[in-house]
Amino acid sequence: MTLVAGNAAGVNAINTGTLIKSLYVKNYALIDELEVSFGTGLNILTGQTGAGKSIIIGALNAVLGERADTETVREGTSKAIVEAVIGTGGDPDPVVVRLLDENEVENSGSEIILRREIRPAGSRAFINDTPVTISLLREVGDRLVDLHGQHDHQLLLKQDHHREVIDALPGVSVRKKDYDVAYTAVLRLRKERDTLVRRERELQEKMELHRFQLRELEAASLDEEAFAEMEAEMKRLDHAEDLDGKAALIGELGSEGERNLMDMLGMIEDALGDMAEMDEEFRSYTEELRSARVSLQELLSHTERYRSRIEFNPGRLEELRQKQAELRRLEKKYGRLLPDLIVYRQELQESVDLAENFDLEREKKEKEVAAATEVLREKATELHNERMASGAGLGRQISEALMKLGIPNNRFEVRVDWRLDGNGWFKVDEKLVSCQSDGPDDVVFYISTNKGESPKPLARIASGGEISRVMLALKSVIAREQHLPVMIFDEIDTGIGGAVAEQVGRTMHELAEHCQIVAITHQPQIAGQADHHFRVEKQESGERTVTHIRKLDEEAHIRQVASLMSGADVSEHAVAGAREMVQKARGRRKAG
C-alpha cells in the first residue's frame, strides 16, 4: 500500500536535515505489504489498540539493526523485508560517513538505504545494497534514528553520549578543542620518552657487543676509496715481473734495436715528405705520421719512467693481502659488503654515543613531558570547569522543560567528576587524574522525578512515559546546539493528559522544527499538533488480518482528532472541538 495523500496540517516544517523519507515493509507480522512516506516536521500515528502501530515500530527497530524475531515473518511466506530510505539533507553525520567508508559501502551523501531481510533461519542486512553485518547496521541506525520506547535504542540513555551532549555546547566545544591539542602533545612526548627509555634498556643490554664491534670495525679503517687504491696496488705488486718485462720489450722495439720503430717511422716520414713535394695528396699523411711519432715517443718515455718505479716487494704484497682477507672476513661475519659495513659502523657509533648520553636525553625529554603535562592540566581544568558550568545551566533548562511536561517535582543534574586513577597524569586536590581523548572527567546525567527522592543516573529510570518526556525535554533544550537524528516516540503520552499532553505536543512540534519526529499517540492534544497525520488500521482480507496505514488529509485529520476526544461515536460537537483545537495549534505555530 503506497501513501500519496496530502499534508494533514498544511504547514511546511523548517528542518531539512536527516529524515526517514520512506519505509517499506513486506510480509512482516500482520503487514502484507506497506509503504509509507513520512514528511519533515511532526509525523503522528494514531489508531485503535491492536491495529498494528507497534508492528510498524517493530519493523523500524528491525531495519535499524535491533534483534529481529524470526517469528515476525508472515505465515506462508519465505522472508520479511523492511527497507528505510534515510535522507541526509546533503549533510550526513560524519560518524556515519566514516563507518560507511571503513566498511567500503558506497555513499552518495544525499540518502542512505537501510534494508533487513528476515527469514525463519536468520536475517541479512544491507546498506545502500551492500551486504553488511547486523552490528554495522545497528551502529549506523543508532546515529540516524533515535527510537524512544526501547531502552536500548536511546542515545541519551547511554552514559558515553552524555559527554557528547555537553561537549556540543558552544562554550565547552572551544575548551575541548584546546584540551585536544594539549592532550595530543602530551601523548606524543610520552611516547617519545617511552621509546627513549625502551631503547636505552635495549641498548644497555647490547652495549658491550656494540662497543666490541665498533672497535673491530674502526681497527679495519674502512674506507671505500682507500680499499680501491689498495686493490690496485696489490694488482701491480702481484704482476711486477710481467709489467717490467712488457715495459722492457716496448722500449727495445721502440727505440733500442738496429731497426726500431722510431727509426723506421723516421724513414717513412722522409719518404712521405718527398712524395708530398711531388703530389699534395700525401701532405696530410705527413702530418699524421709526425703526430704518431710524437705519441710513440711519449709512450716510450713514460714506459722508461714506469720501469724505474716498478716495485718488487713481496712483504708489502703480503701485508695488503692480509688487509684484504680481514675485510672479506668482516664482510662475511656481518653479512654486509664494504659500503654497508661503513654505514653499520656509523650506526654503532651513534648507538654508543646515545647510550653514553642517555641520562641527558632522558632528562631533557622528561622536562618536555612535564611542561606539556602542566599545559594539559590547565586546559583540562578549564574544560572541567566549563563542563560543570554549562552542565548546570543545561540541567536548569531541562528541569524547567520537565515541569511544563507534567513532571513538576523533578531534579535534573549534570554531574561532572574528575576521572581519578592511581596512574593518572597530574594531581587535583592531591588526587591523580587520568586523561583520555574524551577529557579528564566523567559526565553523567542524574534525575529525580518524584519529590523527596535523590537523583539517580538517567539510565536507571524505569517509567517509559517519564523516559520519553525526559528525552523530549532534553532534546528540546539542545536542539539548536547539535546535529539531531530522526526521533521516534512510541507511546510518549503514557500517564499524561489534558494540559500536560497539550504542552508535550507543543514541545514536540517545536523540536520538529530541528529534526523529523515520528510519534505514536492516543492524545488528541498531541495529534492536533501534527504536520502529517497517519492512521493505522487493521482489516480482514479473506482469511487473513492485514495492517494498513493511511495518510490523512485535512478533514480526515480533524475527524481523527475528534475520535480521540470522544471515542468511536464522533459527534459534530466533537468535530467542532477538534477543529478548534487544530486551528489553535496552527495559530500558535504561526504566531511563534
DSSP assignments along 9-45, one per residue? S----S--SSEEEEEEEEEETTEEEEEE---SSEEEE
| Helix H or strand E encompassing 294 | helix 283-309
Q: What phi and psi, each to the nearest 5 degrees, are found at residue 435?
A: -105, 140
First and final CA of the chain: distance in angstroms? Answer: 36
Place of cell 519526529: 517
Nearest alpha-carbon partner for 41 in 62, 10, 63, 82: 10
373: number of Cβ within 10 Å? 19
| Helix H or strand E encompassing 261 | helix 261-278
Q: What SS3 class is residue 290?
A: helix
Predicted pLDDT at 318? 73
Q: What's the DSSP call for residue 102?
A: H
The pTM of this model reads 0.61
Predicted pLDDT at 92? 79
| Record: fold of 1-156+482-592 | Rossmann fold (3.40.50)
Assess contact for 127 and 144: CB atoms under 8 A: no
Predicted pLDDT at 445? 92
Predicted pLDDT at 45? 93
Integer Cα distance of 432 and 424 in angstroms: 5
Burial class (CB in 10 A: 0-12, 13-18, 19+), 472: buried
Assess contact for 530 and 9: CB atoms under 8 A: yes
* CA 253 remoteness from chain centre: 84
Residue count of the chain, please give it.
592
What is the pLDDT tens value at each position of the chain, 592 positions in all?
333 333 444 444 444 578 899 999 999 988 889 999 999 999 999 988 777 888 898 899 899 998 888 888 988 889 999 999 999 877 778 888 899 999 999 888 788 999 999 998 889 999 999 999 999 999 999 888 887 654 444 566 778 788 988 998 889 999 999 999 999 999 999 999 998 888 777 777 777 777 788 788 777 777 677 677 766 666 766 666 666 667 666 666 666 766 777 777 777 877 888 787 877 887 788 888 888 878 877 877 777 776 666 666 677 767 767 777 777 788 788 787 877 787 887 888 877 777 777 778 888 999 999 999 999 999 999 999 999 999 999 999 999 988 888 888 899 999 999 999 888 888 888 899 999 999 999 999 999 988 888 999 887 775 656 776 787 888 888 766 666 788 888 777 766 777 788 888 888 888 888 889 998 888 899 999 999 999 998 887 777 778 889 999 999 999 999 998 887 677 888 889 989 999 888 776 665 5
Q: What's the DSSP call for residue 440?
A: S
Question: What helix, strand, coil percent values describe the chain, rounded to 5?
Answer: 55, 20, 25
Domain boundaries, the chain: 1-156+482-592, 220-356
Look up residue 92 and give its amino acid: P
